[in-house]
Amino acid sequence: MFRTYIIIAILAQSFAAFAMQQPSVVCNKPTLLLNLQDAQKQLKKTKTTINHFANPTTLERARNQLAPVLAYFSNKTIHNWFGNHYYAAPLFQKRLLCEVLYECVDTLDMAIKMVKSSALIERETKHAQVVSMIQDFFDLFKNITTTIMPANAIQYHVDWSQRRYLEQVEYFLKKKQRTIITDYELKKSSGFSVQAAIMGSVTAFERHFPDTLEDLFMLIHQNSLTVIAAIFNSLLGTQPLDAIVPLPSLAKELIAKLQSPQFAPLAFKMGLNHDLAPQRLGVRNTPTTTEILFNMPLRNHSSTMQVIVNKATQECYFAVQFVGQARGRWQQAQLCAAFSPYLSGLEHKERIVCDRQAGIVSIVWNIKNSANIQSIEDYITILALLSYERDLKWRHLEQLNTQKVTIKSAIEAVKNEYGDHSILHLLQPSSRFF
């Protein structure tokens, strides 16, 4: 009898050791949790020696240290477990998953940038390593998109399903692998807008294809962050957002406004026959901020939005980007947003960015009070109207004028602020404003 117990104990120990070494065979909840924690430790360790990626004598060893983490997220049994048990998994386990994924994406991003910027690695070796590491990045992005992210977590353009989009990005990457990589390839192309090209922007992807290897790198990086944000968003289920993410009252009020079925009631009155319905895309946690991500489709272009909370100060900001082929619409949008401090008391956190070649206008506003939130709704309505090639009219400015200033004085203030900026020709006395 005693011998039987010994044999059973030995078999149990052997099986346990085998299970820990073979995640493709056994993947129960404790093992999954331990593996996630091990991956997190390895990523933090890699970050402490991230400079090893810039040295040709330590580069290969650094990549080998990172390889097991990437292999972990490509394991089929891990994928099957997430696919079958994700929604039923404990909340802390799903949050840990998102934290590890963010850490993995951030580490890969830093590692590739270290190789690119290294003065020690020969050009041919550098180019080959960058292409190989971007392939690793794409494989991670594709794995978490197709196997961990819930299928309905992101909205897609009617002509660009998830499968077609991924196949197109992979085609571009394979094409680069057959091309001699020049220094030009390691720079962003002048006309590329990653905000317009990412999944969830609901733009026509063919209008925003990446050109250089750097464009692809940026696209894969931002797509990975978008997918993780969507996974985090799916953690909520039927719970209110602030049950998982602590938010100040102004952020809650702004989010409620964006998600209201009655959002932008003025749209139809102003001639916009399109339902303005921002859709919450996900939640992104960084060391310093919490960001609630939204998207608002507008035919072949779109608007992406972020409610941003500074964790240290609890200050709240609202960022919005209108993306798509520009023509003249983004200058009109830039002009409209430029009036916000003078007509509405809605201050900019940073200067408005308008890149007509890339097809994007980007605005960030400080949110100080509830009146600012109402102004946000009005500006989004008019900016959406302008995105359909409508002209900014006097009545639009009057609609935005909550400060009871004269429109002409606001125009003079914008002139003084922008100096010789290219939007000034829209403000001349011969224009429709006078």
d(CA 70, CA 217): 17
Residue 395 CA, distance from chain mean position: 35
In this prediction, residue 209 has a pLDDT band, given cuts at 50, 70 and 90, of very high
- Mean pLDDT across the chain, nearest whole number? 80
**What pLDDT is stored for residue 60 in this prediction?**
95
**What pLDDT is stored for residue 5 in this prediction?**
42
Per cent of the chain over pLDDT 70 is 79
Q: Which two tokens stand for residue 4?
A: 């039987």
In this prediction, residue 23 has a pLDDT band, given cuts at 50, 70 and 90, of very low
108, pLDDT greater than 70: yes
In this prediction, residue 327 has a pLDDT band, given cuts at 50, 70 and 90, of low
31, pLDDT greater than 70: no
**What pLDDT is stored for residue 434 in this prediction?**
39
pLDDT digits over 237-273, tens only? 667 787 778 899 999 999 999 988 777 655 555 555 5
**What pLDDT is stored for residue 266 in this prediction?**
54
431, pLDDT greater than 80: no
C-alpha distances (whole Å) from 171 to each of 164, 165, 167, 191 are 10, 10, 6, 20
Which residues, in sequence order, are CB contacts of 391 under 8 Å at separation 6+?
332, 432
In this prediction, residue 169 has a pLDDT band, given cuts at 50, 70 and 90, of very high
**What pLDDT is stored for residue 285 in this prediction?**
80
117, pLDDT greater than 60: yes
Q: Which residue has the higher pLDDT, 78 or 344?
A: 344
Q: Which two tokens stand for residue 55?
A: 């040295």
**What pLDDT is stored for residue 32 in this prediction?**
65
In this prediction, residue 346 has a pLDDT band, given cuts at 50, 70 and 90, of very high
Average pLDDT over every residue of 162-179:
93
**What pLDDT is stored for residue 333 in this prediction?**
86
Which region among 197-206, 238-247, 340-349 has the lowest average model confidence (pLDDT)? 238-247
Average pLDDT over every residue of 183-193:
86
This prediction's pTM:
0.69
**What pLDDT is stored for residue 14 in this prediction?**
38
19, pLDDT greater than 60: no
With contact defined as beta carbons under 8 Å apart, do 54 and 4 qualify? no
330, pLDDT greater than 60: yes
